[in-house]
Structure 1
């Protein structure tokens, strides 16, 4: 007889794991103890070798991969520490699992297309709307007939959430839009269309079914954007639709309004760009110190202090506008992210935050041994139009280099003059967009639309194509203002131009150099700060980390000398700002 413990150590709560532990406890076939220690779930059993092997096979099949899973373990133990008590967990959100998906999602199965198929494992049939329960296979086929006729169709959802639509062509009507989202109909052909890593495939297949940004294979006949956000079906309806489309030879289709969370990988952790939770679902975070404010709101997040912990609930989307947003939080987002990431520390000190955002002020803020905050760096606000960009470059020491660029690449110069940048321009995304035009993204064989997201993605995608460790050294010189340092962006663009003029044909190497050099400069800045205040850890936050390559290069360089804190309990931009705002000395106007 042996005592065995099956452990699932996670970086945050996985409600389905708690649910499965409870199911094993209630299953009369097994005599087990269960437990949860923080975000570590475990099942303990005693028995003969054959019985334990049978239990191990069942657990391996039932415990689907979660993006939050750090490491599963099977250990031989002396005595159990679990109990016969059910685990309390947050409500489940998923609509299918490994047990029911083959029954309703396989075109050869008896119950194919039965959206209300009863599943004793995930019990998703109890959570889908009545409208979807009443939707049969014939109704789904009618939807697809409309898709064939119109090129797009809106899916029934039965809730007040934003409508989800699928289409055969991308929607270019909103020039401020993010990357085009695709749902994969045939996962077996994923590699035929996209360059994906094993980690990305595992994340796409995970319980959470996130959106992951990937680049298409080179010279794809239809996928012409630099990057796309991919996901697998996260609902029973979409699963059936994808199976029917797969039968018709369709491997992927555009999707709008997808409610999948968007994940990115930072320092070996998957993190959501912005936390997505069910309406009125409450999240709780222990705090070793009392905040300075009792409540706050930011976007959809409402935050309250409750004696020894912070509670966060998400307001329904239709009342989000009534709540508004504390505008000062956008200004102090970096400081909020620093506070949120050090929540569990009794006395956070000697730390810094590297906050890179596409919408709020990108900053480096430090906290010294006396918990005094200081702004070290803030990304400059770039001109939002080509004429002003050209005017400032012409007025800088880079004018002579820029004149050579005009003569050699007149079409690219004209494209720069015509450039319009939407939204905030005090971010890396805007700098990348300007650089993309200087690298010829809008002309010749590239012909990328003059859209800030697509232009920035052009630089990222080309950098991802680079193979090798050598890259040009791009200059990111600091400017010293009265209150803080910033970036001499004209000189950075001049550095990029000089390499393009010298090596026109190697855009991939130059794009990689832009990322690698920026990571190197950032590390040098933090090392400079370390000499002044002895930095122990660096918080990584902000939506710009959606650029996984930049995040990887930064983590690679900073991680050699500092402990990195990507705040795996929260998100990169949204929830963390709302929570951190409770600790701002001055929050409201």
Structure 2
């Protein structure tokens, strides 16, 4: 009797775990790694295969795993032996059962005991690039609950996110803080990063901290961060699951990987790169030529913004009659995120605009003006003026913030349609940390034909 399992995932470390459990069964098997799946063929008696299936259920879940299937087949095919150099210290169900994970990493009881004593005495602990302390405020990179069932004390977490937090990869996921918690903690943000204890030492340490519900983590390692979108996973930061790229131009190398992931022709495609840290651009590649199609100019001061708007309309006079005018110099990267932050400053938003947009509960936001000033230059001032007009008309900060996101997606859709018609460009890829905004990533996938990688991060350090 032969069973044929298929694990639908583009992430190749899934095959490591499948191979581990198949090898442990001592049954005859073969493993095939495809571009978007891993196939296991394993033969034995009915009782042996039933036992193996029960054991396989102990394999870690993965945020990269879309689905699995199993069916009968004729025989185990002759496939070259599987090999991988994958190593990770992350905790797995097997580690809880045996004391070490499938890669051979085990717990350090001396560290666990000393760290537990230090944290109970309100001291911080250093561990593998982390500074761990009892949670007192949000001055940290993310929060680690000592037990996942404690999350509702601070956060709203649905089943999908809970499963992801419990997965092998243990991503940092930004969760919404509850209204009740924010009511009692005025400085609490709308959203904040959460990560479950991700290796056996941290897990055992957390279990030992009776009476301590949450830990504050400062992490110098650039950990794995992800969003669970409706249609797919979005990797914000790859952490240990990032590709190793030695090229000086990491963005070009990352772009090439995503093109290969979707089998896109590199000589007839486009790249939409929107970042929080770097200048935004849209490039179209045709044969050996490339065309940069988007230029964003950031005003040097708030006064410059008001002067230009005043030359066009009476908006500034009307606005300052109701709201104070933000003044001073502006020194920000040439990107849409900078424009969002400038608008938030002018309109007096209390929270980060992307978080406000994610917290919006309406069906549609206000329609904010996104348009080009020339063939390749974006009209920065019209965008700012449009947001100010909606604020003056009574739109609240969440409505405007979501409108900024939703209208940007409409701009991407219409502008890429124009580029497809003018330059006969077939496919577009989305990269850059701005797409780490969950509503932006979600809407971009839903309303444009652009691709977002399922396995590679939006940006590399």
- Tell me if 1:119 matches 2:107: no
2:224–2:240 contact (8 Å) kept in structure 1: no
How many residues align? The count is 454
TM-aligned CA deviation for residue 372 of structure 1: 2.1
Correspondence for 1:155: 126
Candidates 334, 337, 360, aligned match of 2:278: 360
Candidates 289, 296, 314, aligned match of 1:379: 296
- Identify unmatched segments of 5+ residues in structure 1: 104-116, 173-178, 284-300, 304-325, 443-454, 576-589
Correspondence for 1:184: 145
Could you say what the CA RMSD is over the residues aligned between the two structures, in angstroms? Answer: 3.0
Correspondence for 1:261: 224
Secondary structure at 1:55 match in 2: helix
In structure 1, how many angstroms separate the alpha carbons of the residues matched to 2:459 and 2:272?
12
In structure 2, how many angstroms separate the alpha carbons of the residues matched to 1:165 and 1:206?
21
- Tell me if 1:546 matches 2:460: no
Change (3 A) 1:376 1:359: same
* 1:38-437 alignment, distance < 5 Å: 38=34, 40-46=37-43, 51-61=48-58, 63-81=59-77, 86-101=81-96, 118-119=99-100, 121-125=102-106, 132=108, 134-137=110-113, 139-147=114-122, 150=123, 153-157=124-128, 162-170=129-137, 180-220=141-181, 221-222=184-185, 224-245=188-209, 247-248=210-211, 250=213, 252-257=214-219, 259=221, 260-265=223-228, 268-277=231-240, 283=244, 301-303=245-247, 329=249, 333=251, 338-343=255-260, 348-368=266-286, 370-383=287-300, 388-396=301-309, 397=311, 400-410=314-324, 413=325, 416-417=326-327, 424-437=332-345
Secondary structure at 1:473 match in 2: coil
Candidates 438, 447, 460, aligned match of 2:354: 460
Secondary structure at 1:273 match in 2: strand
In structure 1, how many angstroms separate the alpha carbons of the residues matched to 2:44 and 2:147?
41
2:278–2:333 contact (8 Å) kept in structure 1: no
Change (3 A) 1:166 1:487: farther
TM-aligned CA deviation for residue 555 of structure 1: 1.4
Q: TM-score, normalised by structure 2?
A: 0.87
CA deviation map 1:428-469 (0-9, x unaligned):
222222222333324xxxxxxxxxxxx5xx322222232332
TM-aligned CA deviation for residue 405 of structure 1: 1.9
TM-aligned CA deviation for residue 253 of structure 1: 2.5
In structure 2, how many angstroms separate the alpha carbons of the residues matched to 1:398 and 1:170?
45
TM-aligned CA deviation for residue 549 of structure 1: 0.9
1:266–1:545 contact (8 Å) kept in structure 2: no
Change (3 A) 1:432 1:463: same
Secondary structure at 1:203 match in 2: helix
Correspondence for 1:452: none
TM-aligned CA deviation for residue 526 of structure 1: 0.5
Change (3 A) 1:78 1:547: same
Correspondence for 1:499: 390
In structure 2, how many angstroms separate the alpha carbons of the residues matched to 1:353 and 1:81?
41
TM-aligned CA deviation for residue 122 of structure 1: 4.5
In structure 2, how many angstroms separate the alpha carbons of the residues matched to 1:233 and 1:136?
13
Correspondence for 1:307: none
2:243–2:456 contact (8 Å) kept in structure 1: no
TM-aligned CA deviation for residue 376 of structure 1: 0.9
- Tell me if 1:517 matches 2:407: yes
In structure 1, how many angstroms separate the alpha carbons of the residues matched to 2:337 and 2:161?
23
- Identify unmatched segments of 5+ residues in structure 2: none
2:63–2:169 contact (8 Å) kept in structure 1: yes
Secondary structure at 2:353 match in 1: helix
TM-aligned CA deviation for residue 20 of structure 1: 4.3
